[in-house]
Amino acid sequence: MGFRALIIMLAALTGGVSGASALELKDITYHTEGAGKVVFSHKVHLKKTTKNSANVSCKSCHTTRNGPTTHFTMADMEKGKSCGQCHTGKKAFSLSKCTGCHKVKEITYHVEQTGPVLFSHASHLKKMQCNACHTKLYATGSNKKVSMAEMEKGKSCGACHNAKEAFAISECGRCHPTREIVFKVKETGPTAFSHKTHLTMYSCSACHTKLYPIGSKKKVTMAAMEKGKSCGACHNAKEAFAVSECGKCHPTRDIKFKVAKVADVNFSHSAHLEMYKCGDCHTGTFPVRTGNKPVSMSEMKKSKSCGACHDGKAAFTVNGNCDSCHSRD
Protein backbone atom coordinates (compact mmCIF):
# COMPACT_ATOMS: atom_id res chain seq x y z
CA MET A 1 0.00 0.00 0.00
CA GLY A 2 1.38 3.39 -0.97
CA PHE A 3 2.16 6.06 1.63
CA ARG A 4 -0.58 8.38 0.30
CA ALA A 5 -3.22 5.67 0.47
CA LEU A 6 -2.23 4.85 4.05
CA ILE A 7 -2.61 8.51 5.09
CA ILE A 8 -6.12 8.67 3.54
CA MET A 9 -7.22 5.50 5.36
CA LEU A 10 -5.92 6.70 8.72
CA ALA A 11 -7.71 10.02 8.26
CA ALA A 12 -10.97 8.22 7.64
CA LEU A 13 -10.57 6.09 10.77
CA THR A 14 -9.61 8.97 13.05
CA GLY A 15 -10.69 12.46 12.16
CA GLY A 16 -12.65 12.00 8.92
CA VAL A 17 -15.52 10.06 10.48
CA SER A 18 -16.70 10.64 14.06
CA GLY A 19 -18.21 7.94 16.32
CA ALA A 20 -21.80 6.76 15.81
CA SER A 21 -22.43 9.23 12.99
CA ALA A 22 -20.34 7.01 10.72
CA LEU A 23 -22.50 3.99 11.47
CA GLU A 24 -25.94 3.10 10.23
CA LEU A 25 -27.81 2.83 13.54
CA LYS A 26 -31.19 1.17 13.36
CA ASP A 27 -33.75 -0.39 15.67
CA ILE A 28 -33.29 -4.11 16.23
CA THR A 29 -36.22 -6.49 16.69
CA TYR A 30 -35.63 -9.62 18.75
CA HIS A 31 -38.09 -12.48 18.35
CA THR A 32 -38.40 -14.11 21.75
CA GLU A 33 -39.92 -17.49 22.43
CA GLY A 34 -43.29 -17.00 24.09
CA ALA A 35 -42.86 -13.32 24.93
CA GLY A 36 -43.36 -11.67 21.56
CA LYS A 37 -41.16 -9.15 19.83
CA VAL A 38 -38.71 -6.91 21.69
CA VAL A 39 -37.49 -3.76 19.95
CA PHE A 40 -34.12 -2.30 20.91
CA SER A 41 -33.75 1.35 19.91
CA HIS A 42 -30.26 2.72 19.36
CA LYS A 43 -31.82 6.17 19.01
CA VAL A 44 -33.42 6.08 22.46
CA HIS A 45 -30.27 4.77 24.16
CA LEU A 46 -28.02 7.35 22.47
CA LYS A 47 -30.40 10.24 23.07
CA LYS A 48 -28.67 13.24 24.62
CA THR A 49 -29.76 14.19 28.13
CA THR A 50 -27.68 17.38 28.16
CA LYS A 51 -26.14 19.44 25.39
CA ASN A 52 -22.83 17.57 25.42
CA SER A 53 -23.68 14.16 26.86
CA ALA A 54 -25.71 11.09 26.07
CA ASN A 55 -27.33 8.38 28.22
CA VAL A 56 -24.74 5.93 26.98
CA SER A 57 -22.09 5.76 24.30
CA CYS A 58 -21.50 2.91 21.89
CA LYS A 59 -18.58 1.74 24.03
CA SER A 60 -20.90 1.37 27.03
CA CYS A 61 -22.37 -1.73 25.44
CA HIS A 62 -20.01 -2.74 22.65
CA THR A 63 -17.09 -3.85 24.80
CA THR A 64 -16.85 -7.41 23.46
CA ARG A 65 -17.06 -8.90 20.02
CA ASN A 66 -20.32 -10.77 20.51
CA GLY A 67 -21.59 -11.88 17.14
CA PRO A 68 -25.15 -11.29 15.90
CA THR A 69 -26.10 -14.85 16.84
CA THR A 70 -25.20 -14.46 20.52
CA HIS A 71 -28.34 -14.94 22.63
CA PHE A 72 -28.79 -14.06 26.28
CA THR A 73 -31.53 -15.49 28.47
CA MET A 74 -33.36 -13.53 31.14
CA ALA A 75 -31.40 -15.61 33.68
CA ASP A 76 -28.17 -14.36 32.07
CA MET A 77 -29.40 -10.77 32.23
CA GLU A 78 -30.36 -11.14 35.89
CA LYS A 79 -26.71 -12.05 36.50
CA GLY A 80 -25.59 -8.78 34.96
CA LYS A 81 -25.00 -9.85 31.41
CA SER A 82 -26.21 -8.02 28.31
CA CYS A 83 -29.07 -5.61 29.15
CA GLY A 84 -28.67 -6.58 32.81
CA GLN A 85 -25.48 -4.50 33.07
CA CYS A 86 -27.54 -1.30 33.21
CA HIS A 87 -31.13 -2.42 33.81
CA THR A 88 -30.69 -2.94 37.54
CA GLY A 89 -33.19 -0.41 38.86
CA LYS A 90 -30.38 2.08 39.49
CA LYS A 91 -28.87 3.09 36.16
CA ALA A 92 -32.04 2.17 34.28
CA PHE A 93 -35.36 0.49 35.05
CA SER A 94 -35.09 -2.99 36.49
CA LEU A 95 -35.37 -6.15 34.39
CA SER A 96 -38.33 -7.08 36.58
CA LYS A 97 -40.30 -4.36 34.83
CA CYS A 98 -40.95 -6.71 31.91
CA THR A 99 -43.33 -4.36 30.09
CA GLY A 100 -40.52 -1.87 29.66
CA CYS A 101 -39.42 -4.06 26.75
CA HIS A 102 -42.02 -6.79 26.24
CA LYS A 103 -45.37 -5.63 24.92
CA VAL A 104 -48.46 -7.15 26.52
CA LYS A 105 -51.93 -7.40 25.08
CA GLU A 106 -55.47 -8.13 26.14
CA ILE A 107 -56.30 -11.81 25.66
CA THR A 108 -59.67 -13.25 24.70
CA TYR A 109 -60.30 -16.90 25.55
CA HIS A 110 -62.98 -18.53 23.43
CA VAL A 111 -65.01 -20.66 25.83
CA GLU A 112 -67.54 -22.74 23.94
CA GLN A 113 -70.07 -23.01 26.76
CA THR A 114 -70.10 -19.42 28.03
CA GLY A 115 -68.74 -17.28 25.22
CA PRO A 116 -65.59 -15.11 25.07
CA VAL A 117 -63.72 -14.39 28.31
CA LEU A 118 -61.40 -11.37 28.43
CA PHE A 119 -58.15 -11.34 30.39
CA SER A 120 -56.76 -7.85 30.85
CA HIS A 121 -53.01 -7.53 31.36
CA ALA A 122 -53.45 -3.78 31.83
CA SER A 123 -55.88 -4.26 34.70
CA HIS A 124 -53.76 -6.86 36.50
CA LEU A 125 -50.51 -4.90 36.08
CA LYS A 126 -51.96 -2.03 38.09
CA LYS A 127 -51.57 -4.15 41.23
CA MET A 128 -48.83 -6.68 40.46
CA GLN A 129 -45.75 -7.37 38.38
CA CYS A 130 -45.42 -9.94 35.61
CA ASN A 131 -43.44 -12.33 37.82
CA ALA A 132 -46.48 -12.77 40.07
CA CYS A 133 -47.85 -15.10 37.39
CA HIS A 134 -44.97 -15.78 35.01
CA THR A 135 -43.60 -18.38 35.15
CA LYS A 136 -44.93 -19.77 38.43
CA LEU A 137 -48.49 -20.11 37.14
CA TYR A 138 -48.20 -19.56 33.42
CA ALA A 139 -45.46 -20.17 30.92
CA THR A 140 -44.87 -17.18 28.66
CA GLY A 141 -46.68 -17.89 25.42
CA SER A 142 -49.36 -20.50 24.96
CA ASN A 143 -50.58 -22.61 27.88
CA LYS A 144 -52.80 -25.66 28.06
CA LYS A 145 -56.43 -25.17 29.06
CA VAL A 146 -57.31 -25.34 32.75
CA SER A 147 -60.77 -26.43 33.91
CA MET A 148 -62.86 -24.62 36.51
CA ALA A 149 -62.50 -27.68 38.75
CA GLU A 150 -58.72 -27.25 38.63
CA MET A 151 -59.02 -23.52 39.35
CA GLU A 152 -61.13 -24.31 42.41
CA LYS A 153 -58.14 -26.33 43.65
CA GLY A 154 -55.81 -23.36 43.30
CA LYS A 155 -54.53 -23.88 39.79
CA SER A 156 -54.19 -21.08 37.23
CA CYS A 157 -56.49 -18.12 38.06
CA GLY A 158 -57.55 -19.92 41.24
CA ALA A 159 -54.15 -19.27 42.82
CA CYS A 160 -55.22 -15.68 43.49
CA HIS A 161 -58.97 -15.71 42.88
CA ASN A 162 -59.76 -17.42 46.17
CA ALA A 163 -61.88 -14.69 47.84
CA LYS A 164 -58.80 -13.58 49.84
CA GLU A 165 -56.28 -12.12 47.44
CA ALA A 166 -58.93 -11.44 44.78
CA PHE A 167 -62.61 -12.19 44.17
CA ALA A 168 -63.44 -15.90 44.17
CA ILE A 169 -63.77 -17.80 40.91
CA SER A 170 -67.26 -18.77 42.09
CA GLU A 171 -68.25 -15.22 41.10
CA CYS A 172 -68.52 -16.45 37.52
CA GLY A 173 -70.12 -13.30 36.12
CA ARG A 174 -66.99 -11.27 36.89
CA CYS A 175 -65.22 -13.01 33.99
CA HIS A 176 -67.81 -14.94 32.02
CA PRO A 177 -70.35 -12.79 30.19
CA THR A 178 -74.02 -13.38 30.96
CA ARG A 179 -76.87 -12.32 28.73
CA GLU A 180 -80.60 -12.15 28.70
CA ILE A 181 -82.05 -15.20 26.94
CA VAL A 182 -85.22 -15.36 24.91
CA PHE A 183 -86.71 -18.82 24.42
CA LYS A 184 -88.82 -19.16 21.31
CA VAL A 185 -91.90 -21.06 22.46
CA LYS A 186 -94.07 -21.91 19.50
CA GLU A 187 -97.31 -22.15 21.44
CA THR A 188 -97.06 -19.08 23.67
CA GLY A 189 -94.54 -16.80 21.99
CA PRO A 190 -91.11 -15.59 23.16
CA THR A 191 -90.26 -16.19 26.82
CA ALA A 192 -87.48 -14.10 28.39
CA PHE A 193 -85.07 -15.38 31.03
CA SER A 194 -83.14 -12.66 32.85
CA HIS A 195 -79.72 -13.62 34.20
CA LYS A 196 -79.45 -10.10 35.64
CA THR A 197 -82.59 -10.49 37.78
CA HIS A 198 -81.70 -13.97 39.01
CA LEU A 199 -78.12 -12.99 39.88
CA THR A 200 -79.40 -10.42 42.37
CA MET A 201 -80.75 -13.36 44.40
CA TYR A 202 -78.65 -16.38 43.51
CA SER A 203 -75.12 -17.35 42.53
CA CYS A 204 -74.37 -19.04 39.20
CA SER A 205 -73.67 -22.32 41.00
CA ALA A 206 -77.26 -22.42 42.29
CA CYS A 207 -78.30 -23.48 38.79
CA HIS A 208 -75.10 -24.41 36.95
CA THR A 209 -74.43 -27.24 36.55
CA LYS A 210 -76.86 -28.93 38.93
CA LEU A 211 -79.93 -27.90 36.97
CA TYR A 212 -78.51 -26.69 33.67
CA PRO A 213 -75.42 -27.95 31.89
CA ILE A 214 -73.56 -24.86 30.66
CA GLY A 215 -74.36 -24.30 27.01
CA SER A 216 -77.07 -26.98 26.85
CA LYS A 217 -79.95 -26.30 24.45
CA LYS A 218 -82.11 -29.22 25.52
CA LYS A 219 -85.77 -28.24 25.91
CA VAL A 220 -87.72 -29.05 29.07
CA THR A 221 -91.50 -29.40 29.05
CA MET A 222 -93.87 -27.74 31.50
CA ALA A 223 -94.87 -31.22 32.70
CA ALA A 224 -91.23 -31.90 33.60
CA MET A 225 -90.96 -28.52 35.38
CA GLU A 226 -94.04 -29.36 37.44
CA LYS A 227 -92.09 -32.41 38.64
CA GLY A 228 -89.19 -30.26 39.82
CA LYS A 229 -87.02 -30.26 36.72
CA SER A 230 -85.36 -27.15 35.30
CA CYS A 231 -87.15 -23.96 36.46
CA GLY A 232 -89.46 -26.09 38.58
CA ALA A 233 -86.65 -26.86 41.03
CA CYS A 234 -87.10 -23.37 42.50
CA HIS A 235 -90.41 -22.22 41.06
CA ASN A 236 -92.46 -24.42 43.38
CA ALA A 237 -94.45 -21.74 45.25
CA LYS A 238 -91.98 -22.02 48.16
CA GLU A 239 -88.62 -20.71 47.00
CA ALA A 240 -90.15 -18.74 44.15
CA PHE A 241 -93.52 -18.35 42.43
CA ALA A 242 -94.95 -21.61 41.07
CA VAL A 243 -94.57 -22.61 37.44
CA SER A 244 -98.37 -22.71 37.36
CA GLU A 245 -98.32 -18.88 37.36
CA CYS A 246 -97.72 -19.00 33.64
CA GLY A 247 -98.22 -15.29 33.01
CA LYS A 248 -95.13 -14.46 35.09
CA CYS A 249 -92.95 -15.83 32.27
CA HIS A 250 -95.13 -16.39 29.23
CA PRO A 251 -96.51 -13.26 27.59
CA THR A 252 -100.28 -12.98 27.30
CA ARG A 253 -102.22 -10.72 24.98
CA ASP A 254 -105.77 -9.82 24.22
CA ILE A 255 -107.14 -11.74 21.25
CA LYS A 256 -109.54 -10.56 18.59
CA PHE A 257 -111.69 -13.23 16.97
CA LYS A 258 -113.14 -12.31 13.59
CA VAL A 259 -116.69 -13.60 13.31
CA ALA A 260 -118.50 -13.54 9.99
CA LYS A 261 -121.90 -11.76 9.75
CA VAL A 262 -121.78 -10.56 13.35
CA ALA A 263 -119.50 -8.29 15.32
CA ASP A 264 -115.99 -9.48 16.19
CA VAL A 265 -115.19 -10.77 19.68
CA ASN A 266 -112.43 -9.38 21.89
CA PHE A 267 -111.04 -11.84 24.42
CA SER A 268 -109.15 -10.24 27.30
CA HIS A 269 -106.52 -12.39 29.00
CA SER A 270 -105.87 -9.68 31.57
CA ALA A 271 -109.55 -9.54 32.64
CA HIS A 272 -109.82 -13.31 32.96
CA LEU A 273 -106.52 -13.64 34.83
CA GLU A 274 -107.91 -11.45 37.59
CA MET A 275 -110.34 -14.30 38.36
CA TYR A 276 -108.74 -17.48 37.03
CA LYS A 277 -105.42 -19.19 36.54
CA CYS A 278 -104.03 -20.17 33.17
CA GLY A 279 -104.48 -23.83 34.11
CA ASP A 280 -108.24 -23.37 34.49
CA CYS A 281 -108.52 -23.11 30.71
CA HIS A 282 -105.23 -24.45 29.33
CA THR A 283 -104.98 -27.14 28.21
CA GLY A 284 -108.25 -28.76 29.20
CA THR A 285 -110.62 -26.37 27.44
CA PHE A 286 -108.16 -24.68 25.07
CA PRO A 287 -105.04 -26.40 23.71
CA VAL A 288 -102.04 -24.08 23.91
CA ARG A 289 -101.37 -23.60 20.23
CA THR A 290 -102.17 -21.27 17.40
CA GLY A 291 -104.75 -22.02 14.75
CA ASN A 292 -107.31 -23.78 16.94
CA LYS A 293 -110.45 -24.93 15.17
CA PRO A 294 -113.29 -22.36 15.44
CA VAL A 295 -116.09 -23.34 17.83
CA SER A 296 -119.70 -22.52 16.95
CA MET A 297 -122.25 -20.94 19.28
CA SER A 298 -124.28 -24.12 19.30
CA GLU A 299 -121.22 -26.02 20.53
CA MET A 300 -120.62 -23.40 23.23
CA LYS A 301 -124.20 -23.89 24.40
CA LYS A 302 -123.22 -27.55 24.92
CA SER A 303 -120.38 -26.46 27.27
CA LYS A 304 -117.64 -26.47 24.67
CA SER A 305 -114.99 -23.75 24.60
CA CYS A 306 -116.21 -20.55 26.33
CA GLY A 307 -119.40 -22.37 27.25
CA ALA A 308 -117.51 -24.45 29.82
CA CYS A 309 -117.73 -21.47 32.18
CA HIS A 310 -120.25 -19.21 30.50
CA ASP A 311 -123.19 -21.35 31.55
CA GLY A 312 -125.11 -18.87 33.68
CA LYS A 313 -123.54 -20.21 36.86
CA ALA A 314 -119.80 -19.68 36.82
CA ALA A 315 -120.24 -16.74 34.45
CA PHE A 316 -122.96 -15.18 32.28
CA THR A 317 -124.47 -17.62 29.80
CA VAL A 318 -123.62 -17.75 26.08
CA ASN A 319 -127.32 -18.31 25.49
CA GLY A 320 -128.30 -14.67 24.99
CA ASN A 321 -126.27 -11.76 26.32
CA CYS A 322 -124.64 -11.60 22.88
CA ASP A 323 -123.49 -8.00 23.22
CA SER A 324 -121.42 -8.97 26.28
CA CYS A 325 -118.86 -10.39 23.85
CA HIS A 326 -119.90 -9.26 20.39
CA SER A 327 -119.39 -5.54 20.29
CA ARG A 328 -119.38 -3.14 17.34
CA ASP A 329 -117.22 -0.61 19.22
Q: Does the pLDDT at position 73 exceed 50?
A: yes
State the Cα–Cα distance between residues 97 and 93, nearest whole angstrom.
7
Q: Does the pLDDT at position 246 exceed 50?
A: yes
Q: What is the pLDDT of residue 22?
A: 60
| Share above pLDDT 70 across residues of the chain, in percent, rounded to a whole number | 89
CATH class label, 255-324 = alpha beta
| Share above pLDDT 90 across residues of the chain, in percent, rounded to a whole number | 54
107-174 topology per CATH: Cytochrome C3 (3.90.10)
What is the tens place of the pLDDT at every residue in 273-327? 999 989 899 888 988 876 778 899 999 999 999 999 999 999 999 998 898 998 7
CATH class label, 181-248 = alpha beta
What is the tens place of the pLDDT at every residue in 199-240? 999 999 999 988 998 878 888 999 999 999 999 999 999 999
Residue intervals of the chain classified under CATH 3.90.10.10 are 107-174, 181-248, 255-324
